[in-house]
Amino acid sequence: MKKKQRIIVIGAGMAGLAAASLLREYGHEVVVLEARDRFGGRIHTFEFGTAAVELGAGWIHGEEGNPVVELAEYVNQPVVPVPAPRLMLYDAAGTALSPQAIEHLEQDFSAFINDMFRVRTGMPPGRALSEARDAALAQVPADSLLRPAIDWLLFSEIELDLAADLEHISLDEWDEDECFPGQDAVLPNGFQAVLRLLADELDIHYRQVVREIVYSAAVVRILTQEKVYECDRVVITVPLGVLQAGHVQFIPALPEEKSAALHRLGMGQFEKLFLRFTDVCWPDDADLFGNLATPRERPFEVFNLSHATGQPVLMILTCGRGARRWHSMETEAAVHEVLLDLRAMWGPALPDPEDFLMTRWGKDPFALGAYSFVPPAARLYDHARLASPVQKRLFFAGEATDRRYPATVHGAMLSGIRAAREAASL
């Protein structure tokens, strides 16, 4: 082993815990500084009444060969694959579409996506995904049910996945990242349980909000709101949104190329609203619901969590413009608005929920958004620029630094492992 180093890891999310654990295994002296009073970051399992819900990451995307599955197995946590959700869609009259009608719409939607790809080949670089959508939409009759279905499916399958509106997503790069094969999977004991073993073995200093990182060839000095820490190397895993906001100052400033990449990338907005009722008062044999009549400016999809939690709980997801709308509203007002659309699907007798809970990742000072995405002016390679070490002193991890699997828990984990190896070997 090389000389033992004093290494500080900033952030106790997936990336920070993975990096710190590996560095500790290599025999280095490792301290983790975390702004919150808990580990997990954008992984946060929460007791909502008696139902455990995931406020942040909920699914392991692609279970085959996924390092998060390996980690879960290593810490003896069960992993349950989930089949594709059974979808119910409702039209403007509040009528549920038949399974055959949904299947046809999905086939037409696949053809529509192919049209978008065809349109893309003729477009100059630097365009937004919405431009290909608009060009392909010109072929779809204005009065057909396919129009609102396309809107809803684009929202559900692309915008939610990237936590941004099509208007803000790169047409060239939106589907260029990689994924693990296989079904998605969930962790019945909660995502955070998988991280506990890693966190328990580490020296984590909680409530330490890093404000400044002063570095030279000799030493790195890290200033929090109350202390000064010194180390040989630092692994920085704070989210892209926090770096973009300048909440952590670098002295001297980061190299121009890294700083430019940091500001080109986008920090997506994605929020969840949980509603708990006294009883299940929706079709319980479906997992996912969509109302095709919901206005474009406030899109959402609804997951039935009654089977996963054993409780009459719904999870409403929105992103981009929908998330920004929620940010500007009181939670009660957002719940009221969502209930209008739920009653349009399930009838006016749907009672008010007995409790509700809304995430506010976009307003959380230690996240400032949900996960990164590539806007038209950026390149997927900007993730790699963000990852590059500075002066063999500063090392960068976190989902936004992973060129292959950004915006995911497994991307965060792999980035932590990469940064730990760099910090231990450079």
Residues 222-241 that bind ligand FAD (CB under 6 A): 237-239
**Of residues 210, 308, 314, 316, which one binds ligand FAD by CB under 6 A?**
210
Spatial distance between the Cα atoms of 54 and 48, rounded to a whole number of angstroms:
10
- Under rule CB under 6 A, residue 302 binds ligand FAD: no
Nearer residue to ligand FAD within complex by CB, 88 or 186: 186
Nearest distance from C-beta of residue 401 to ligand FAD, angstroms: 8
3-state class of 223 per DSSP? strand
- Under rule CB under 6 A, residue 12 binds ligand FAD: yes
- Under rule CB under 6 A, residue 326 binds ligand FAD: no
Which residues, 6+ apart, have CB-to-CB distance to 252 below 8 Å? 215
Spatial distance between the Cα atoms of 162 and 152, rounded to a whole number of angstroms:
15
Residues 368-397 that bind ligand FAD (CB under 6 A): 370-371
- Under rule CB under 6 A, residue 62 binds ligand FAD: no
Which two tokens mark 41?
A: 């970051």
3-state class of 55 per DSSP? coil
Nearest distance from C-beta of residue 110 to ligand FAD, angstroms: 23
Stretch that binds ligand FAD, among 86-94, 168-176, 364-372, 385-393 (CB under 6 A): 364-372
- Under rule CB under 6 A, residue 242 binds ligand FAD: yes
Q: Beta strands 204-205 and 29-33: pairing type?
A: parallel
Nearest distance from C-beta of residue 352 to ligand FAD, angstroms: 24
Nearest distance from C-beta of residue 145 to ligand FAD, angstroms: 30
Q: What is the dihedral of CA 144, 147, 150, 154, to 10 degrees?
A: -170
**Of residues 30, 58, 71, 314, which one binds ligand FAD by CB under 6 A?**
58
- Under rule CB under 6 A, residue 398 binds ligand FAD: yes
**Of residues 23, 35, 162, 267, which one binds ligand FAD by CB under 6 A?**
35
3-state class of 186 per DSSP? strand
**Of residues 152, 270, 346, 395, which one binds ligand FAD by CB under 6 A?**
270
- Under rule CB under 6 A, residue 274 binds ligand FAD: no
User: What distances in angstroms separate CA 80 from CA 48, 57, 69, 70, 320, one per listed residue?
Assistant: 21, 15, 10, 13, 29
Spatial distance between the Cα atoms of 396 and 113, rounded to a whole number of angstroms:
35
Which residues, 6+ apart, have CB-to-CB distance to 206 below 8 Å? 12, 34, 36, 37, 38
Nearest distance from C-beta of residue 250 to ligand FAD, angstroms: 12
Q: How many residues does the chain have?
A: 426
Nearer residue to ligand FAD within complex by CB, 33 or 302: 33
Stretch that binds ligand FAD, among 84-92, 203-211, 273-281, 387-395 (CB under 6 A): 203-211
By CB under 6 A, name the binding residues for ligand FAD.
10-16, 33-36, 41-43, 56-59, 61, 208-210, 237-239, 242, 247-248, 270, 272, 359, 361, 366-367, 370-371, 398-399, 407-409, 412
